[in-house]
Chain A
Amino acid sequence: MKRAMWLMLFLVICVSPFLAAREKIVVYTYDSFVSWGPAAALKEAFSEEYDCDVEYVTAGGGKATLSRLIAEREAGTNNADLFMAELNDVPRIANYDLFLPLTAEDVPNIATVPVDLMAEGLNGFVPYEYGYITLTYDTQAFSTQSPPATLEDLADPVYARQLICEDARTSSTGFSFLLWTIAHFGEDKYLDFWRSIHDSLLTITQGWGEGWSLLTHGEAPLLVSFSTDTAYAAICGDPLRYRAYAPGEEGYRTVYGIGVVKGTRHEALAKEFIDLLLSAEMQKLIPTTEIMFPANGNAKLPPAFQEYAIVPHTVLSIPLAVVGENMGKWLHAWETVITQP
């Protein structure tokens, strides 16, 4: 009798993890969303409302995480329920048929995203925030002289070794800057621009973080960055030493999106997750944590954002389909030019 009881207890202990296991959705995302984005708040709200755990997985930037997702799928496993990244990171997703189609019926809050922003995305990949790539300068280094007024001015020898930009192949920011130069100068002239700024470039960093590190350590006074940098400093209560500005009143649109990965076993929960991310309650965290503009048109912006976040007069953007078609060609031409001594 006693032995039977022990046996029962043993069985219960063995089985209990399975009984107690809560549902869990796995979100493949980029590092900064987890590190300073609204990831924690989102996870807490979601697990409370749906009694479901949220696990974030990141392999670095959006491109690296996407590469991991695809490698795992090709190896025959699918761990991801949701995937998040900058839109220009994912044009090749079309080749892999990764996402379930989404409509406002599945995810009611899609209706809060402005139509023109929705149009930037691709089927099944919903924008949840956006911003502008511009330049950021060190006001101490430019106390007497002004920063270059236009992209063309960057070639001026007075700016020798003063510009830091990010690698278009490894960084979403760097890729957006490359697309900006293509949109600005045209496909036949953008390489001339890159040749012309050869001496102005101090270096091309792997990611935006390294670039920001170089800027703030005084290595060079100009960085390809976000139009919301000044607002971020204001939100943190930092001195406004590094200020964003739009050269020639121009900037390039950058959009971040999320999609439900095909093969998910938690389709309904994944859709609820997107709906929560797009809700006004979560979207109001976007400016202060992601330092981006919320996709939800109803979300209110904090005062520092209203005062300092720059919306460039001219916003350039190349349609995603065109990017997807030419990406390999453009990047290869770019890498060939920038590695020339």
Chain B
Amino acid sequence: MVTRLGDGDHTTVTRGGYLLLLALAALLALVFYYPLALVLTGAFRSTSGWSLSALTSVISDPYYVHLIWFTIVQAVYSTLLSLGIGLVGAYILTRYDFPGKRTIRSLTVIPFVLPAIVVALGFILFFGNSGYLNRALISLFGLSRPPLHILYSLTGIVLAHAFYNAPIVMRVVSASWEGFDPSIDEAAVSLGAGRMRRFIGITLPRLMPAILSSSALVFVFTFLSFPIVLTLGGARYATIEVGIYTLVRTLLDYNHGAALILVEMTISLFFTYLYLRAEGHLAIPTQGSRRLSPRRFLAPPVSVGKVLIALYVLLVGIFFLGPIVSIVIDSLRSAQSWSIANYAQLLSQRYSPFLGTSPLATVRTSLIIGSLATMASLLVGTMIAFFVVRGRIVGRWIIEAALMAPLAVSSVAIGFALLRGLSAPPLRLGGTLTAVVIAHAVLTYPFVVRVLRPILEGLDPQLVEAARSLGSSRLRAFLDVELPLLRRGLLVAAVFAFALSMGEMSATIILMRPGLSTIPIAVYGLLSARQFGAASAMAVVLIAVTAASFIVIDRLGGEKINA
């Protein structure tokens, strides 16, 4: 049996802990479970009353069965590709130092925050039949037809999902990897263990929580993916989420929609639960007294490994930068020539009628919502992470899965549930900024928990016990001992929560009222108003604002950690 951290009396939940859990449960009940339950009761109803007909048709009708099957298949492929790209990236980030490393690390979150509609635009501009890649290949090899048919297929979907999710794997895994104490590895070297053996025997097991945690994230995320699938796959490559959206938002068939939400939730909750069980057994403490020191990549000697790494960086660089650079180029083109007209017009009142507000106001609204949602999300996420790691009460796995449920529920469903739940008593927040902040906090806090959890697993609770035995209160021990050790994790978590909030559109567009528009909604508004140049410019503004925030957060945090 694996020895787990926290076995013993000192980690049983205290009375204060139970109160905290109760308060948390009440809060989540109000802004999440109650609204969701309102919607889900529809699964057991038909127009004539209580009935199971919606549920049975959803699990037997060929259309729905195909939806469910295809959703799982594409999520598996997407997770594998994201893992492949992300793990190599994490290895390079952990093992090597090179100029601009910190900035590159900060920028890896950018793909993740781009609204799907922008990524789709970038993919079309770059990978499309008339995209830059095909055009380059045509002129390079003197072809008459575009050689690559990437989009509008499973390949296109999987590639776009990797574009979104490989950076998550990279960040989560490298954050954990960098904290490793190299002593164990060095001991193995002194005992004569080879490189491969050390990797499989020592590094991999220690990386497992991070790998599983990020895989689960990516699987659930691609499982619930909607706009990418719809835009790049077209309606022919539909997922469960597409089914829910069309049933709830356009066919107004709430009963079948609720039944499909239930099926989707069951599957993604099942995966979340499996993962939580698996991770519990894999948790191995790392003290983190010493840190791995990376080697300088540019220093000699040149090896086969380094050449392969350079090749990887080149290919992945093209893959990630291609679509983004294409958007930037598109934003700088107007009437067949280079121009900043698209940006100049963002400052004018020209687009205000399209957006119901000025483009600049949408930037401000996005920043306000992003900051508030991040704070709320960090607060709730940290509390849950502590409970998940330290709490030892009966049925913990079930409670944990329930606390993480927003992860398993699609944003379309959450937006819809909140619209119904928040518009009615006891809360009357329909159409307010608060409703959107709540939605974003609910959607992002599981990601905060995901990031903090592996780090907390590695913290020795005896540190807290030591502080308490010296007379500190639990709160003081948290503030003085755990918080400083968690700082790096909290920063990563904050970046994720903020990023998700900045790019969120599916739930926002359901909850927002005009005059309160965010950047992604502005991009969407401009796209649907045929203002493609301006939409690209607005997308570039989103990329810039987010990138700047990350670099600032990373720099600030970096200094504090170094100090």
Supposing A57-B514, A67-B248 touch, asked if A336 and B121 sit within 8 A by C-beta, the answer is no
- Chain B contacts for A66, CB-based, 8 A: 252
Given known pairs A67-B248, A75-B420, the reply for A335 and B231 (CB within 8 Å) is no
Question: Which residues between 34 and 69 of chain B lie within 8 Å of chain A, taking CB atoms?
Answer: 62-63, 66-67
B419 x A68 contact (CB < 8 A) = yes
Chain B interface bracket (under 10, 10 to 19, 20 to 34, 35 or more): 35 or more
A40 within 8 A of B: yes
**0/1 string, B518-545, CB within 8 A of A gives 1:** 0000000101111010000000000000
Chain B 217-241 residues near chain A, CB threshold 8 A: 227, 230-231, 233-238
- In the complex, the chain B residue whose C-beta lies closest to that of A208 is B528
Contact pick for A338, options B235, B253, B509, CB 8 Å:
B235
**Within 8 Å CB of B274, what residues of A?**
none
**Interface residue tally for chain A (C-beta within 8 Å):** 57
Q: Quote the shortest CB–CB distance from A279 to chain B (angstroms).
A: 20
**What residues of chain A lie closer than 8 Å to B281, measured between beta carbons?**
none
Closest residue on chain B to residue A167 by CB atoms: B235
A203 at the binding interface (Cβ < 8 Å): yes
Taking CB atoms and an 8 Å cut-off, the chain A residues in 185-208 that contact chain B are 201-207
CA distance A123 to B234 in the complex (A): 36
Q: How far is the CB of B432 from chain A (nearest CB, A)?
A: 12
| Residue A72 is within 8 A (CB to CB) of chain B in the complex | yes
| Contact in complex: A219, B424 (CB < 8 Å) | no
B527 lies within 8 A of A201 (CB): no
Residues of chain A within 8 A of B70, CB atoms compared: 339
User: CB of B250 within 8 A of chain A?
Assistant: yes
Q: A53 CB to closest chain B CB, in angstroms?
A: 12
Closest residue of B by beta carbon distance from A89 = B250
For A214, the closest partner residue in chain B by CB is B124
CB contacts (< 8 Å) of B249 on chain A: these are 63-64, 67, 170
Partner of B125, one of A59, A209, A217: A217
Q: What residues of chain B lie closer than 8 Å to A76, measured between beta carbons?
A: 423-425
Give Cα A206 to B412, complex, Å.
15
User: Which of B63, B117, B253 is close to A339, meaning CB atoms less than 8 Å apart?
Assistant: B63
Asked if residues A217 and B128 are in contact (CB atoms below 8 Å), the reply is yes
Determine the residue in chain A with the shortest Cβ distance to B421. A75
Q: B251 an interface residue at 8 Å Cβ cutoff?
A: yes
Contact among B235, B354, B423 for A204, CB-based, below 8 A: B235
A92 closest partner in B (C-beta) = B252
In angstroms, Cα B355 to Cα A5, docked, is: 43
Map CB proximity to A onto B404-437 as digits: 1 under 8 Å, 0 otherwise: 0000000000001001110111000011000000
Q: Is the CB of A335 within 8 A of B353?
A: no
- Do A339 and B235 contact each other (CB < 8 Å), given the known contacts A67-B252, A68-B510, A71-B420? yes
**Is the pair B514, A218 in contact by a Cβ cutoff of 8 Å?**
no
Question: Which chain A residues (39-78) contact chain B, with CB distance < 8 Å?
Answer: 39-40, 55-60, 63-64, 66-68, 70-72, 74-77
A217-B236 Cα distance, complex, nearest whole Å: 21
10 pairs of A and B residues whose beta carbons are closest in the complex = A218-B130, A203-B234, A35-B529, A204-B235, A209-B528, A169-B246, A35-B354, A63-B250, A203-B152, A336-B63
User: What are 26 inter-chain pairs, A to B, with CB distance below 8 A?
Assistant: A32-B528, A35-B353, A35-B354, A35-B528, A36-B529, A56-B514, A60-B509, A70-B252, A72-B419, A169-B235, A169-B250, A169-B251, A170-B246, A203-B236, A206-B227, A209-B528, A210-B527, A213-B527, A213-B532, A216-B532, A219-B124, A219-B130, A328-B253, A336-B66, A338-B236, A339-B238
B interface residues, Cβ below 8 angstroms from A: 62-63, 66-67, 70, 117, 120-121, 124-125, 128-130, 149, 151-152, 227, 230-231, 233-238, 245-246, 248-253, 353-354, 356, 416, 419-421, 423-425, 430-431, 509-510, 513-515, 525, 527-530, 532
